[in-house]
Amino acid sequence: MTTAPRPAVRDDARGMSTRTVRTVQLQLGAVILVTVGVVAAVDAITNPNALVLGLAAAAIATAAALLVPWHRLPFYATALVPAIDIVAIGLLRDSSPPAGFSLLWTFPVIWSAWAYGLVGSISSVAVVSVAYWLMTASTPTAQSLAFRLMFPAVLAMLAGITRVNARRAQAQRVLLQRQALALRNAAGRAHRQESLVTEVLDSVDFSVVAFTPDGSVLITNDAAARLQRTRDSSGDAVYDADGFTPLEPAARVEERARRGETFSNVLSWYGDPGSDDRRALQVTARPLTGPAGEGVGRVVVAREVTDEQLALRARDDLVASVSHELRTPLTSIVGYLDLVEDDPTLSASARHNVQVAQRNAERLLALVADVLAVSAASRMGIDIRIEREAIDLAEVVEAAIEAAEVRARERSMTIDSTAVEPCPARADPHRIRQVVDNLIGNAVKYGREGGRIEIGCTTDDHHAWIVVRDDGPGITSHDQARLFERFFRSLSVRNTSTHGSGLGLAISRDIVRAHGGDITVTSTVGAGATFVVRLPLTSPEESS
């Protein structure tokens, strides 16, 4: 661990700089001139020669203070100026002993004590005291004797007070220098951190803009300027995530962020549909907090996702195109199976086989229709249509179990349906059958050979519940987070020969949510998975 270097104490901080010497000497010179003027005005000068010599000495000290570059000389060189002042004041006192020139000796004593510490205090007090005693030796009266003893004591007291104040001032200067050094270091670190943050923000390809509480821009990066140019080139047309629903100015992400709303990955399209310069932006807004948790503004992060969205739509278009091509032959197959079933010469076993093929062909045709609906919903924001009617969910579940038993027997799997209870509800029987078929089919497809599948359904006061549980390999927590994404297939499944589109669970969740319910999964690796479907007993319109 490194510590900050202790600031060095310069000579001019302990002693006196050139500017300080000049200032102090000019002040003393001004006092001497004023005092001499007053004394001369009252005609109290008794020794004109001493007065001239004293003024000359003071002038020499002042000239030296003004002309000599003291900061370039050794530390104690400045002691020459107060020494000359002591001589000058002594001569001025000799020119008029009663005039009080002796009081001016306090100036060089204070000067020496402040600049040179204990040595300066002792030496200046001693020199002035000796000079004063020698000059007052001719008047040995009781009063003058007491004054001669008291005057050095007063000088010593002034020197001591000055020394204490000088030490405090010196300590404060050292402390201030350390604080200044720490402040410079902190400012340097802050500047380096700011430069680093700026470089990092400018190197990323997404926009970052921080706002103060009043809406002023606090921080921005180069990508923000590029995205702003993208918005400007797209005109004033802004559309919702579907790309076709126009957004009012108050509903746009910029205004929502300025109002203080918090949101994540909101998709907006800039530019009219079909235009070449149309762009898609995904925006996130978060609050900024200070050290005490107070709000200090907001940060808005945006990135262009035009290519991603176009790729997703191209995928949906491809799926829709393939599904559309499959629908025509499937419709023909179902029609011809109807004709075969109507043949009166058909045997009972053959009729049963035809009916099985017809049911599966119709299910496949329904799945193709669902893929087309999902693709259309992805492109145009169309919801899955639900046609509710009064049904018993137990019948739907039992029919799905019957259809899956053949495939389960092929894998030596057991389906336990003892927990299936009557569940009256208002739902779309075909859509719910699609969900249950998908869940049971996945349990059979991805479960372990010879495993067990438990299926149940029940109701409470407000909801119907469908549960499908298997004892297969389970699902990792990472895959669970993406399990209901369209076209998602886990790595463990992709590495096997089990086929799938990755659409079944996504469509199932959309169907359940269209009913006002939800579908969840819990799983432990190696201990199977449990899917729970929750459906309201009544539609939201009926409950309201």
DSSP labels, 197-262 = HHHHHHHSSSEEEEE-TTS-EEEE-HHHHHHHHHHHHTTT-EE-TTSSSB--GGGSHHHHHHTT--
Q: Same domain, yes or no, for 345 and 395?
A: no
Name the residue among 281, 295, 286 with its Cα closest to residue 243. 281
194 domain residue, yes or no: no
pTM of this structure: 0.43
CB atoms within 10 A of CB 39: 19
Query: Which pair of structure tokens corresponds to residue 355?
Result: 């009916």
- Tell me: do 354 and 234 sit in the same domain: no
Q: Residue 304: CB partners within 8 Å, gap ≥ 6?
A: 205, 206, 227, 230, 279, 280, 281, 282
Please check whether residues 350 and 447 belong to one and the same domain.
no
Phi/psi region, residue 216 (left: phi>0; alpha: psi -120 to 50; beta: rest), is beta
Residues 208, 221 contacting (CB under 8 angstroms) = yes
Domain assignment present for 455? yes
User: For position 331, what pLDDT does the model report?
Assistant: 80
CA angle 223, 228, 232 (to 5 degrees): 150
Q: What CATH number has the domain bearing residue 489?
A: 3.30.565.10
- The predicted pLDDT at position 60 comes to 92
Domain boundary among the residues 283, 304, 325 is at 304
Q: Of 274, 304, 334, which closes a domain?
A: 304
Q: What is the CATH number of the domain that holds 223?
A: 3.30.450
Residue 191 within a domain: no
Amino acid residing at 41: A
Q: With a cut of 70, list the residues of the chain below it in pLDDT.
A: 1-16, 43, 138-146, 230-235, 315-324, 366, 369-384, 486-502, 539-544
- By C-alpha distance, which of 183, 162, 180 is closest to 172? 180
Do both 431 and 493 map to the same domain? yes
Contact 329, 336 (CB under 8 A): no
Q: How far is CA 530 from CA 229, 277, 456, in A?
A: 50, 47, 11
| 100: DSSP letter | T
Domain end (from 238, 269, 304): 304
Residues 166, 29: one domain?
yes
Asked if residue 352 and residue 487 are part of one domain, the reply reads no
The reply to whether 228 falls in a domain is yes
In a domain, 189, yes or no: no
Is there a domain that residue 187 lies in?
Answer: no
Angle at 278 between CA 274 and CA 280, to 5 degrees: 120
Same domain? 272 vs 345: no
SS3 384: coil
CA–CA gap between residue 272 and residue 369 (Å, rounded): 30
Per the structure, the count of domains in the chain is 4
* Cα 47 to the center of its chain, rounded Å: 82
Supply the range of the domain harboring residue 297.
Answer: 207-304
Q: How does pLDDT run across 241-294, given as a tens digit for each residue?
A: 877 788 888 888 878 887 778 888 888 888 887 777 788 888 888 888 877 777
- What does the alpha-carbon distance between residue 160 and residue 114 come to, in Å, rounded to a whole number? 9
In a shared domain, residues 368 and 399 = no
> Does some domain include residue 6?
no
Residues 281 and 169 in one domain: no
Residues 165 and 77 in one domain: yes
361 and 346 both lie in a single domain = yes
Listed in sequence order, the DSSP H helices in 68-141 are: 80-95, 106-136
**399, 321: one domain:** no
66 assigned to some structural domain: yes
